[in-house]
Amino acid sequence: MDAQGRGRADDIDPADQWVLNPNTGDYELRLQASAPQPAVPGPRRTATRAGGATARQTTVPGRERRGTPEEAPDPGIPGPRRRRTPQAPPPGRRKGRPQKSKGKKILVGTGGTVAFLLVAASVGGYLYYQHLNNNITSVSDDGAGTGGFSKDRAINILLVGTDKRTGSGNSGYGDSGSAGHADTTVLLHVAKDRSNATAMSIPRDLITDIPDCPTTQEDGSTKVIKGTPSTRFNNSLGQEGRTPSCTMRTVTAMTGIKMDHFMVADFNAVKTLTSAVEGVEVCLAKDINDPDSKLNLPKGKHTIEGEEALSFVRTRHSVGFGGDLSRIEIQQQFLSSLMRKLKSNDTLTSPTKLVKLAEAGTKALTVDSEIGSITKLRDLGLELGKFDMKNLSFTTVPVVDNPTEDIKATVVLKEPGARELFSLVKDDVSLTAVKQQEKKEKAAVAARLKGTKADPSEVRVRVLNGGAPAGSAQQALNWLQIEKGVTKSENAGNAGVTLKKTTLEYAPDQADQARRLADLMGLPGSAMKPGESVTNSQGLPAISLTLGEDFKGAGVSLTAPAAGSADVDKSTADKVECAE
Q: Residues 199-218: pLDDT tens digits?
A: 999 999 999 999 999 999 98
Residues 65 and 125 in one domain: no
Q: Which among 27, 36, 30 is positioned nearest to 8, based on CA atoms? A: 36
201 part of a folded domain: yes
Top-confidence residue, 73 or 525: 525
Give yes or no: residues 52 and 148 share one domain.
Answer: no
The per-residue pLDDT for 569 is 44
Asked if residue 416 has a cis previous peptide bond (ω within 30° of 0), the answer is yes
Q: What is the DSSP string of 99-153?
A: PPPHHHHHHHHHHHHHHHHHHHHHHHHHHHHHHHHHH-EEE--TT-S-SS--TTS
Q: Are 158 and 126 members of one domain?
A: no
In a shared domain, residues 428 and 512? no
Mean pLDDT to the nearest integer, 513-536: 88
Alpha carbons 358 and 499: distance in angstroms, whole number: 52
d(CA 511, CA 361): 60
Query: Do 74 and 131 share a domain, yes or no?
Result: no
Check whether residue 81 and residue 110 sit in a common domain: no
Provide the CATH number for the domain around residue 308. 3.40.630.190
439 domain residue, yes or no: no
The pLDDT tens digits for 46-102 are 444 444 444 444 444 444 444 444 444 444 444 444 444 455 555 545 544 555 444
**Structural domain tally of the chain?**
4
What mean pLDDT comes out for the span 9-35?
Answer: 52
- Mean pLDDT, range 478-485, rounded to an integer: 94
The verdict on 146 and 234 lying in the same domain is: yes
442 lies in some domain: no
Q: Which of 54-58, 260-264, 388-392 has the lowest mean pLDDT?
A: 54-58
Same domain, 163 and 208: yes
Q: Give pLDDT, residue 294.
A: 85
For residue 260, being part of any structural domain is answered with yes
Would 571 be classed as within a structural domain? Answer: no
Query: Exposed, middle or buried, 502 (CB in 10 Å: 0-12/13-18/19+)?
Result: buried
**Structural domain ending residue among the three candidates 432, 464, 495:** 432
Percent of the chain, pLDDT > 90?
42
Name the band, by pLDDT with cuts 50, 70 and 90, for residue 31: low
pLDDT at position 576 over 80: no
- Residue 437 falls inside a structural domain: no
* pLDDT mean over 532-549: 93
Q: Could you give the CA distance from residue 284 to residue 287 in angstroms, rounded to a whole number?
A: 7
**Separation between Cα atoms, residue 298 and residue 267, nearest integer Å:** 23
Q: Is residue 576 in some structural domain?
A: no
* Mean pLDDT across the chain: 78
Q: Are residues 152 and 129 in the same domain?
A: no
* pLDDT at res. 105: 42
Domain membership flag for residue 194: yes
* Same-domain pairing of 167 and 116: no
For residues 423 and 484, membership in a common domain is answered with no
Confidence band for 242, pLDDT divided at 50, 70 and 90: very high
Q: Name the least confident of 29-43, 243-257, 267-281.
A: 29-43
Task: State how far the Cα of 96 lies from the Cα of 73, in Å rounded to an integer.
Answer: 21
Which band of pLDDT confidence, cut at 50, 70 and 90, is reported for residue 406?
confident
Residues 501 and 537 in one domain: yes
Range of the domain at 334: 139-432
